[in-house]
Structure 1
């Protein structure tokens, strides 16, 4: 790669080092350095010893949301359209979670929920845009999407988690 010997070779190597350092920095940059908007997402729960709620799936109209035993916390719930980077942390001590994102067209319409499996029937769910699958406790993942204006729902579809309140509404302007 570097031809010649002596001073010429040394100068070529020195000229190359800043370019190599920049390439390494870009390749190893944290997701926070990504273009667009960054949304920090925490997938949380009150622990395995807490009995899961069973009636707090979306939309939970008229339900007491203070009883949720699991949830999705967002650093911001409204962003501008474009590239969105979701930096997802499963902050649970002992429970695996996931995050699925879908566009909501009708906020009052219930999801196709399969009560025998205690989860949303993803095969009947139009418009799933992306997901972070089965994230172990204290692990992180990144999901980047180019989102258009609209209302979206982030939810966990591990059995029982959706109806325990593990969903969040997200708006793109």
Structure 2
């Protein structure tokens, strides 16, 4: 009888503990790439731009998966460029039909107005970094906001499901 009640106690403790275990963050591998610093950077390849032709992009962001469940998400980045610094910023799209607020004079997105959820700042060529953020359901953009890079097509869409 004592063995049975001890086993019951152990089972109850294990069940209680397992319900308090924090789920591991979803992992997204990210490659920040470009065709080289000698390539001309096009402009006008921003998100939601009319007549967008992303095939003209000379740089971009490649992700291992385009969607995850809401909660903690870890982005593991690698700057695969041989000669250009890149970064990655996570931006929540409040309205997926609108372009991001842009500062023309600085040739970059206004991060404060855009809804910056976190970032991995400038990574030298060949370097890696990571970012873990708690994301709610919705649509996001991952962008490089080094001047000129976002307008040259260095962004990708990302979805967080409920």
1:49 equivalent in alignment to 2:38: yes
- How big is the shift at 1:143? 0.2
After superposition, where does 1:31-50 map in structure 2 within 5 Å? 35-50=24-39
Any gaps of 5 or more consecutive residues in structure 2?
1-22
Q: Return the alpha-carbon distance in structure 1 between the equivalents of residues 136 and 56 of structure 2.
A: 33
TM-score by length of 2: 0.82
Structure 1 CA distance for aligned equivalents of residues 31 and 61 of structure 2: 6
State the distance in 2 between where 1:169 and 1:103 align: 10
Residue in 2 that maps onto 1:146: 134
After TM superposition, the runs of 4+ consecutive aligned structure 1 residues lying more than 6 A away are none
Provide the C-alpha distance between the structure 2 equivalents of 1:145 and 1:75, rounded to a whole number of angstroms.
17
- State the secondary structure of the residue aligned to 1:164: coil
SS at match of 2:60: strand
Residue 12 of structure 1: aligned partner: none
Alignment of 1:1-80 (within 5 A): 35-80=24-69
Which of these residues, 93, 101, 116, is aligned with residue 128 of structure 1?
Answer: 116
Q: TM-score, normalised by structure 1?
A: 0.77
- Secondary structure of 2:43's match? coil
Task: Write the distance in 1 (CA, Å) between the matches of 2:33 and 2:118.
Answer: 20
Structure 2 residue 143 is matched with structure 1 residue 155: yes
Kindly state the Cα deviation for residue 35 of structure 1 after the two structures are TM-superposed.
1.9
CA-CA distance at 1:36 after TM superposition: 2.0
**Residue deviations 1:15-73, cap 9 Å, x none?**
xxxxxxxxxxxxxxxxxxx9221000000011011100111011234221100011000
For the aligned residue pairs, the C-alpha RMSD in angstroms reads 1.3
Structure 1: how far apart are the matches of 2:113 and 2:92? Answer: 14
